Amino acid sequence: MSSSLGVSLVWYRNDLRIRDHQGLSKAIDSNRQVVAYFNFNPNLFKELNMGFKKTGIYRSKFMIESVNDLQLELDKLNISLIIDNCPDGQNLIKKIKKLNVKEIFIQREWTRDEINEEKEVLNKIDSNVKVNYSFEQFLYHPNDLKKKIDDIPNVFTLFRKKCEKDLKVRSLADNPHRLESKNRLSEKYKIPSLNDLGFKEFKLDKRSAFPFKGGGKSGIERINNYLWETKKLSVYKHTRNGLIGIDYSSKFSSWLANGSVSPKMIYWEIKKYENKVIKNQSTYWLVFELIWRDYFKYISMKYRDKIFSIEGILNRKYNWDKSKTKVYEWINGKTKEPFVNSNMLEIKNTGWMSNRGRQNVASYFAKELKLDWRIGASYFESMLIDYDVHSNYGNWMYVSGVGNDPRDRKFNIKWQSEKYDPNMKFQNLWLNE
């Protein structure tokens, strides 16, 4: 491979894998030297005005593990991963020039922070550098939609039925092949520790429902375990509203959020499972959840920065409270509702919360405490290991009455507690220590 042809650079962000990665496969096929790049941008770890960091300790640890795994996998392909920690695009701009980069491969993003990050770099590099975008975070590829993005329905059911009727999930990208050893850069880049990012090392809480590590290897192991080893997928629909333990739900969302695995990888594994084991409501329901995930991505693509506005995509005006006292009571599990408190202590101590818990605590925050829903969404952004900008803000708008819920529902917390935690096992787990 001749470096005189220049370099193909894969700019990693929320696509931290080598499998089913179109950009990486195309970069390898470009017949150039290939390098990869990831930035631990210090702005991600700054403290916000409410006193919590934009990216908290649990997601930071998962990110470090994911990038470490990615570096190991790229090493096997003889591809160097450049690790950066720059608050702007200056270092990447210098690298592009120094390495004689001719093509950049990057996953398409459209939300505020990611767009600004791109502009900082792409507006300042040589116009002859070709930028190749790919849509790798979807189940249903945007180019396959028969509708314009602006015509995406605001009701999920209409979207789902249209997808199921008219669209097919694309096949997986070819597995990348190994390059010659001379492709590597001479420098070996060090991945930061939690201490480097401003956190203290911690021990996993023994009560955690998410004791897993970040990275594609761990994500694939979880898929294999949930489907083939335990066959828990067969009963997913009946257990998905659980609260305790690792297997009441798939827990795939964290690896999906940072792209350690792709939705297509999960989908095609489910299809294999349906052929070899069983096809039932539970197998369908996990695909159903992947479609929900797609839907929030399409909604954010349609409305862009409106998903961050207080009036949401519906332009509804409410008198939102901003009481710091109420916010901190909610964060620290000091409200009048034990079911809310137990869920909030879970996320505070583990970075995880069940889907049932998330709906209840968000509804309580917005509908009972009448607090500015964006503060709650921002706290989830900080704390959740599986934070995904589209699903997070989409769900918060949904439960707060400014998003995609046509019924504008309000959760009856006591009824929810009695139905989903009738013996108070979950509440006792978190409130009695």
Range of the domain at 101: 3-136
Instruction: Fill in the amino acid letter for 330.
Output: W
User: What's at 130, amino acid-wise?
Assistant: K
Predicted TM-score (pTM) of this structure:
0.96
Does residue 2 carry a pLDDT above 60? Answer: no
Domain final residue, candidates 72, 104, 136: 136
pLDDT cut 90: percent of the chain above it:
92
* 43 vs 210: CA distance, rounded Å: 26
Q: Mean pLDDT for the chain?
A: 95
CA–CA distance, 317 with 401 (Å, rounded to integer): 10
Q: Is the dihedral of CA 319, 322, 328, 334 positive or negative?
A: negative
Among 136, 162, 189, the domain boundary falls at: 136
- Indicate if 315 and 298 belong to the same structural domain: no
Quick one: pLDDT band at residue 147, thresholds 50, 70, 90? confident
- My answer on whether 11 and 121 are in the same domain is yes
234 part of a folded domain: yes
Q: What is the pLDDT of residues 354-376, one digit of tens each?
A: 999 999 999 999 999 999 999 99
* Together in a domain, 256 and 319: no
- Bridge partners of residue 33, in order along the sequence: 7
CA distance 240 to 105: 37
CA proximity to 405, closest of 152, 151, 154 = 154
What is the rounded CA–CA span in Å between residue 427 and residue 416?
12
Q: What's the pLDDT score for residue 4?
A: 66
Whether residue 8 is found in the same domain as residue 128 = yes
pLDDT for 248 beyond 70: yes
**Interval 67-76 mean pLDDT:** 98
Beta bridge partners of 101: 7
Burial of 177 (0-12, 13-18, 19+ CB in 10 A): exposed
User: What residues contact 43, with CB distance under 8 A and at least 6 apart?
Assistant: 54, 87
Taking 3-state DSSP, the helix, strand and coil percentages for the chain, each rounded to the nearest 5, stand at 50, 10, 40
**What is residue 124's DSSP assignment?**
T
Output DSSP code: residue 185.
Answer: -
User: Which tokens is 169 given?
Assistant: 């999930």
What's the count of helices (H) and strands (E) in the chain, helices before strands?
17, 5
Residue 348: φ, ψ to 5°: -65, -35
Residue 63 has pLDDT above 90, yes or no: yes
Residue 342 lies in a domain: yes
Number of domains in the chain: 3
